[in-house]
């Protein structure tokens, strides 16, 4: 792992308001430092509760070289354990998901209960205490059916405040009783920071995302940055806020401090564009109203939990977007679409129309990000300055450097 002195040298070369140096995007020693200082400390989105409805159901969540078993125990609670045997360290679960009565290690068959306790280990010495060798637990936070993990032994930030903010803004959608209508994985051959830098700026939207821009008035305003476009959006958004408040729906605004806290989270709502009920190609809904909503309000609900998770919800569907660093040069983007549990394909649900915007946009981003990675591997790469439209990306980079300090 990169030691403090080596990091300080690299940090000293970093110019304020400029992209990061090449080493940050390819050096395994930096990735190792990130595993300890970032991946192990953030609350990370893993999946929706409907993926594990019954006791014994599990799925694996892989991030930063770790594999975590997320399961439903016999009492119906969501639990998570490091997928590491307490005997000699083998991975225990090898399938990405499944249903088990207990977790049996494929190596020497130590068997663990759904609560992580070691229940069976053959031919151990007399002084062996099974109680000392349960699976290492991972902290779990569940908000509105969204499962978050924290790999730290003792998380510095309690999940309660995050959960409360997510619940306050998204409650009418009833994500907790929703179901997964689609789940797609978009692997990227690039360092995870390029993925997050890209996601958090819309400087590239006018040229790279015509579909995304066509749907979102906000994207036209912040992507183009022209004062008249910004004014058009502000007027549209102000009118929407008045209408939406009159309907009794929330209209929370985005408020981020200039310096992002170690574990930042943010939830807000904004107009899609006049005449649009949903985030679809023509603005018509692709699914029935979610949860307790009784009318379309034409708004989008956005939630960010740290840099690795974002959620975008129209009134009829939500897209959960998760970034999962795998190794220094591979990152998974996982998109999960939630709909009301009563939605039926072919009747009131059109999955392809629902997935269209985020699918086409994410596939475009895959290409952009991989081009970015290849280019900066050149010996002639040198970090360039961020534009005024990349302020959130710049905030992310500042946050990143503070976490790594």
Cα→Cα distances 89→92, 96, 116, 174, Å: 9, 18, 15, 40
Q: Residue 108 touches which of ligand FES, Fe ion, none (CB < 5 to 8 A by kind)?
A: ligand FES
Q: Residue 87 touches which of Fe ion, ligand FES, none (CB < 5 to 8 A by kind)?
A: ligand FES
Q: Is 137 or 374 the residue whose CB approaches ligand FES more closely?
A: 137
* Binders of ligand FES in range 298-317 (CB under 6 A): none
Site membership for ligand FES, residue 103 (CB under 6 A): no
Cα–Cα–Cα angle for 317, 355, 39, nearest 5°? Answer: 80
Distance CA 110, CA 104 (A): 6
Q: Residue 365 touches which of ligand FES, Fe ion, none (CB < 5 to 8 A by kind)?
A: Fe ion
Distance CA 387, CA 242 (A): 33
Q: Is 135 or 302 the residue whose CB approaches ligand FES more closely?
A: 135
Sheet holding 139-143, edge to edge: 44-48, 146-150, 139-143
Determine which residue in the list 14, 67, 90, 177 makes contact with ligand FES, applying CB under 6 A.
90
Strands (E), 243-317: 265-271, 299-305, 309-313
Determine which residue in the list 58, 103, 110, 175 makes contact with ligand FES, applying CB under 6 A.
110
The DSSP element (H or E) to which 98 belongs, if any, is strand 97-99
Q: Residue 107 touches which of Fe ion, ligand FES, none (CB < 5 to 8 A by kind)?
A: ligand FES
Site membership for ligand FES, residue 276 (CB under 6 A): no
Q: Is 15 or 88 the residue whose CB approaches ligand FES more closely?
A: 88
Site membership for ligand FES, residue 244 (CB under 6 A): no
Residues in Cβ contact with 58 at an 8 Å cutoff, skipping those fewer than 6 apart: 52, 69, 70, 71, 72, 93, 97, 98, 99, 100
Q: Is 316 or 365 the residue whose CB approaches Fe ion more closely?
A: 365
Site membership for ligand FES, residue 88 (CB under 6 A): yes
Distance CA 176, CA 44 (A): 18
Site membership for ligand FES, residue 87 (CB under 6 A): yes
Binding mask 347-366 toward Fe ion (x if CB under 5 A, else -) reads ------------------x-
Separation of CA 182 from chain center: 16
């Amino acid at each position: 792992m990169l030691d403090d002195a080596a990091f300080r040298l690299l940090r000293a070369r970093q110019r304020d308001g400029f992209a990061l140096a090449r080493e940050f995007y390819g050096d395994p020693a930096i990735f190792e430092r990130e595993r300890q200082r970032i991946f192990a400390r953030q609350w990370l989105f893993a999946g929706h509760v409907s993926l594990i409805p019954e006791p014994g159901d599990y799925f694996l969540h892989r991030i930063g070289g770790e594999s975590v078993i997320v399961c439903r125990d016999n009492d119906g609670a969501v639990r998570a354990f490091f997928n590491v045997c307490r005997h000699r360290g083998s991975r225990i679960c090898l399938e990405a998901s499944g249903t088990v009565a207990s977790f049996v290690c494929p190596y020497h068959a130590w068997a663990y209960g759904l609560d992580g306790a070691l229940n069976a280990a053959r031919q151990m010495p007399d002084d062996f205490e099974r109680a000392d060798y349960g699976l290492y637990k991972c902290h779990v936070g569940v908000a509105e059916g969204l499962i978050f993990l924290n790999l730290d032994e003792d998380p510095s930030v309690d999940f309660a405040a995050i959960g409360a903010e997510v619940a306050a803004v998204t409650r009418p959608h009833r994500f907790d009783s929703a179901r997964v209508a689609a789940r797609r994985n978009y692997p990227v051959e690039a360092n995870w920071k390029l993925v997050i830098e890209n996601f958090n700026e819309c400087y590239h939207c006018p040229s790279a995302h015509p579909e995304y821009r066509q749907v979102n008035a906000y994207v036209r305003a912040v992507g183009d940055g022209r004062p008249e476009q910004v004014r058009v959006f502000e007027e549209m958004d102000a009118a929407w806020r008045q209408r939406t408040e009159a309907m009794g729906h929330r209209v929370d605004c985005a408020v981020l401090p200039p310096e992002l806290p170690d574990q930042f989270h943010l939830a807000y709502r904004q107009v899609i564009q006049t005449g649009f009920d949903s985030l679809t190609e023509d603005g018509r809904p692709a699914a029935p109203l979610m949860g307790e909503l009784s009318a379309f309000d034409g708004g989008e609900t956005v939630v960010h939990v740290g840099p690795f998770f974002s959620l975008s919800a129209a009134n009829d569907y939500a897209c959960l977007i998760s970034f999962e660093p795998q190794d220094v040069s591979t990152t998974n983007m996982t998109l999960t679409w939630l709909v009301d549990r009563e939605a039926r394909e072919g009747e009131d649900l059109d999955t392809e129309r629902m997935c269209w915007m985020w699918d086409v946009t994410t596939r475009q981003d895959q290409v952009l990000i991989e081009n970015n990675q290849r280019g900066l591997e050149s010996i002639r790469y040198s970090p360039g300055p961020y534009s005024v439209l990349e302020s959130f990306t710049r905030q992310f980079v500042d946050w990143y450097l503070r976490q790594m300090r």
